[in-house]
Structure 1
């Protein structure tokens, strides 16, 4: 195990009167190019190599160990969305999902190119492959679907970002009904074409089960927080404009993971990405030394991310 070099406590005892907030910059051998979380571990990619993140008695409370990334999702099969990946689940009726029928008909390019998914493909635990094909007016403006049991009934749903020429992006949810893959719910759209949203978290619902999807509408223009909740009976409740001045995505980037859940709270960057915010609570913002553009992940009660210029940051809220 190697320590990560010199660490500097950049910020401490911020405006919160309850507890100090510490942001520690950790020196790495080469600029950080990506933060990666898989089912097998958490990793830092640098210009000089890859390091596994482990909690320990090192700078910032995390240690960096040279390693290779393990547990990455499979790329979507040939003929599917070129930069897409396969979502997987270990149980439930739907066990794999990805975007198919790549198309340039939407021509927005918010994720780095103008190729989006024209269909959603799913595989069941029994080995059956099913497909939901969108009309010409819509695309999946997304990279990897998300498989969850949203209504706690033992059957999985697929959470997607769908965009239309008339209304822009919305959250759309699909599931198996009578052997077919069908749309079962959707949020409202953003109101016009080329207005995107990014999902930030999928949280357990309060009360008797269900799930809450948290997202940011127009993360490049004002960043408005919204939630979409599914109850055990399948009913949907939507709340909009809960908070503003948020951004969990950079235009043209394929990195959709600029958010994390820690201690039941959702952490999101401010619009300028120079602070971490907890918009579902009254907690104080956490100032950062520079804008971040890498994924945010939770490791042992801390948040790990990196700045645009490749500095690794460990945040202890």
Structure 2
């Protein structure tokens, strides 16, 4: 008898939707088992970082229904904390024994983490080892999340009758699905519903991570207000027109995303000043990546090559699913990256 392949589940508890991807591996090729998503009501806009007792059971109920609808069979999932809720920093430390290094990192972390060390989960990863001033040194990425937020995620999965095999940051998932094994420095601009995340990835590791409170919903609300139309119609205008032409909508979007452009330029300059290396290209993801002409507009204003990322590029799937998968691709970058973690 042939044994069934082990399946790996990625679940993204987004601010306006919950997304699920299940993969398995055949040889070295990841294969799509199932996928799906469920919208979360805009009027509720439930956030796990909010201090409400109602949030967890409502999200758990939606997740349970989605899991059942997709026919997924894997029990334990990899999920992600949103970038805006996680503190990241890079530090440089001299090379030393692992036990000493761990103690030194905890000591250094206390100086820069905005919360008491006993209230956080601290993770660290060596990005590179280099020689400076005749001394071998590590460049280390620190990732810090509040324990109470981690507990809320664990509670959602428990109430949905699912387990969590790993909880990481969205930045790592994006790097995994959009950059693969490309060793060159790449910037990912993930324009989601509520925020835009700017992540610089180096050899598959997110070394710089910034978040700004401007997303697709921000743009839709501004268009609705300016044109005097409801949210649904404004959203359709945004998707149909985007940055095309010289009408009111492109000009309004241009004004609204100026803080995002400023943050991108700041991040480019910050990275290049810190490591003396240049970003080679920008990869767009998130629901706003498909706005007409947005990629061309961004390429022009930042003077860098900009492409729309395809997180399905390294996944095998039935040909008849291609149109549907391409339509949702930018929205599924985090979820696919989470599922891929299990296959590593």
Same topology, TM > 0.5: no
User: 1 or 2, which has the higher strand percentage?
Assistant: 1
- Structure 2 length normalisation: TM-score? 0.24
User: 1 or 2, which has the higher helix percentage?
Assistant: 2
Structure 1 or 2, whichever has the larger Rg, is 2
